[in-house]
Amino acid sequence: MTNIKRDKKPSDPCGVVQSSTDDGAKTDGVVIDCKIDELYYGTFKAVRDTAVPVNRNKITAFIGPSGCGKSTVLRCINRMNDLVRGFRFKGHVHFRGKDIYHPSVDPVAVRRYIGMVFQQPNPFAMSIYNNVAFGLRLNRYRGSVRDKVEEALTRAVLWEEVKDKLNKSGLSLSGGQQQRLCIARAIATQPEVLLMDEPASALDPIATMKVEELIRQLRRDYTIIIVTHNMQQASRVSDKTAFLYLGRLIEFNDTDQLFTRPREKQTEDYISGRFG
Amino acid sequence: MTDPSGGTQISQPPTRFQQVVDVVFRRLCHGFAWLSVLLVAFIVLKIATAAAPALRQQGLGFLTGTTWDPNTGQFGILPEIWGTVFTSCLALMIGTAFGVAAAIFLSEGFLAQFVFRTLKVAGLEFHPFFGKLPDQVQAFLKNLIELLAAIPSVVYGLWGLFVIIPLIRPMCNWLNLKLGWVPFFGTTLTGPGVLPAVIVLSIMILPTITAISRDALVSVPAKLRMAAYGMGATRWETILAVILPTAARGIVGAVILAFGRALGETMALAMLVGNANRISLSLFSPANSLAALLANNFPEAAKKDVAVLMYAALVLLAITLFVNIIGSVILERASSGLEGRR
């Protein structure tokens, strides 16, 4: 199991915002070093002893059966779990050389640098244009919002389909289009890392193919972490794969290695469909 | 249907009884729905017929006249129309501001979180008894606000007369003294008047606005909240930019319903508004409302005056219907685009 230890104490009291962008590149291209010792929801211990280093411009996939804690680990990385009452966390998540769980770090700031795409397409009840412009306005973007919206929609391979109806509601689109709209919304602010929580599981096969194609293209500019219960999807899109089972990391390796020569018995059983 | 397998099969077509129950149920629902529609038509028709003599005699001058004198047969309800709309609009502004704020407070679980954090300090947040406290306190507060709707309006009237008026009178008269040139503070408050009526009215419509708005806010899908938080929106930005617009339909519905209630509120207004035929912008001046006019005049109404009162009732009915229809139209226009139906 690869495990890069970087027990650097957070030095910048201002939080993640002020550090320079090339900080992660210094340490073997690891952008996010996530180490969870114990994670509780209320009195339920959801995840333990899980460490996943995430490399820059790579796609890292989390796989495992339902309830294994893969989404929980993902939600740790942009502090979405903070919204769950009774959430407790022991461990660290280093991003840009700082622990995002340091008391001085504002979770809202973390989420502006680490974007997220959800399982269910969730466009806002506003126009397509305003959906994509949402993050730009939050970040008080001073340039041309229109250009950025077009850029994001183009990158999300949605521009051609919606360029004539930007003022229509985002909810008027089909499920697959809505999910690509959500991806456009997430990448419009150019976050460094993109978290994707089963982004294609609510979509039909053709829409799934389009979203997967899009994810592969986005790798050039983004570091992507994707949760999926679809092993074929993980093997198709990802560079590295982490297998979680019963709230614990079982194996983390290069995707082709993990799928062809799994080191652990449980991994082999899972990928060969013997359980889960 | 005969059983093809010949053996014991569980599946069977609906029995005659099940079919009859189904048809009867459907017919009953149809019947009751039409009955309520007919009832509304019947009420409007009856009031219109009873008002017909006055309509012929008074004409549209009734709506612009400012004196109400049964002795000389002079009837005009402009001050009452003004008083009704003025008090209702003011009460609606206050009630909406407080009601929506309370609805946000209740739906976003601010109180539950506060209680949870307090418990956490004491280390009791997962205690079998105290662990349930945050949600219980939240539910208690919600019920408490809804309880405001259960207070009879005559009690509100009494409370306004003997608590609110003495309470606000010094402040009102001070405002009149210092800022008397502002039209709203143009007179002194001697007793019943617009402001006490508005205050009590806004408290009366508060539970309506809060309860319906809360339901609308709670029903905003959690995934939209998560989307906004996931973009790095603060709590305030999430509420203002995503949750409120998504719930706007329900909130506007609540406001329209509350406006209807304010327009028609009778007892508290009759006790608090002052029953003076006067058109004034001053918040401290006594005024009148259509509902209060009806309540005060029906006991000693002579035969021919009944038609006049029915005319006034028809006007009140028209105002409420108009507000409801306009509100629904605005609502439909505003929300259909956002929800992807256009």
Domain harbouring A83, CATH code:
3.40.50.300
What local confidence, expressed as pLDDT, does residue B4 receive?
58
For the cut 80, the answer to whether the pLDDT of residue B334 exceeds it is: no
Reference B26, options B34, B16, B37, B15; nearest CA is B34
The pTM assigned to this predicted structure is: 0.82
The CATH code of the domain at B61-338 is 1.10.3720.10
Residue A63 lies in a domain: yes
* Mean pLDDT on B324-333: 83
CB–CB contact B229 A111 (8 Å) = yes
* Mean pLDDT on A203-211: 87
Which of B127, B229, B244 best tests the A interface by mutation, with the highest count of A CBs <10 A?
A: B229
Distance to chain A for B109, nearest Cα, Å: 11
Number of domains in chain A: 1
Q: B61 pLDDT band (50/70/90 cuts)?
A: confident
CB–CB contact B223 A182 (8 Å) = no
Task: Provide the residue range defining the domain that includes A220.
Answer: 23-121+191-271
| B337 chain-A contacts, CB cut-off 8 A | 169
Q: Could you give the 3-state DSSP secondary structure of residue A31?
A: strand
How confident is the model over B80-108, as pLDDT tens digits? 999 999 999 999 999 999 999 999 999 98
Going by their DSSP bridges, the two strands A98-99 and A248-254 should be labelled as: unpaired
Q: A254 pLDDT band (50/70/90 cuts)?
A: very high
Distance in angstroms (rounded) separating the CA atoms of residues A234 and A258: 11
| Other CB atoms within 10 A of residue B236 CB | 8
DSSP symbol at B15: P
What local confidence, expressed as pLDDT, does residue B338 receive?
60
| B341 chain-A contacts, CB cut-off 8 A | 169, 172
Distance in angstroms (rounded) separating the CA atoms of residues A271 and A49: 22
Distance to chain B for A194, nearest Cα, Å: 11
**Among the listed ranges A238-242, B23-27, B280-284, which one has the minimum average pLDDT value?**
B280-284
Distance to chain A for B93, nearest Cα, Å: 26
Going through A29-86 in order, the beta strands assigned E by DSSP cover 30-41, 44-55, 59-63
CB–CB contact A118 B223 (8 Å) = yes
Strands across the sheet with A30-41, in order?
Answer: A98-99, A87-95, A30-41, A44-55, A248-254, A240-245, A59-63, A223-227, A193-197, A114-117
| B230 chain-A contacts, CB cut-off 8 A | 78, 80, 111, 115-116, 118, 186
Delimit the domains of chain B by residue range: 61-338
Backbone angles phi, psi at A84, to 5 degrees: -90, 125
Chain B residue with minimal CA distance to A76? Answer: B230
| A111 chain-B contacts, CB cut-off 8 A | 229-232
Q: What Rg do the C-alpha atoms of chain A give, in angstroms? A: 18
Going by their DSSP bridges, the two strands A223-227 and A193-197 should be labelled as: parallel
Provide the mean pLDDT of chain B. 88
Distance to chain A for B30, nearest Cα, Å: 33
Distance in angstroms (rounded) separating the CA atoms of residues A98 and A6: 10
Q: A12 pLDDT band (50/70/90 cuts)?
A: very low
Phi-psi region of A67 (alpha: psi -120 to 50; beta: other; left: phi over 0): left
What local confidence, expressed as pLDDT, does residue B327 receive?
84
**Among the listed ranges B29-33, B42-46, B333-337, which one has the minimum average pLDDT value?**
B333-337
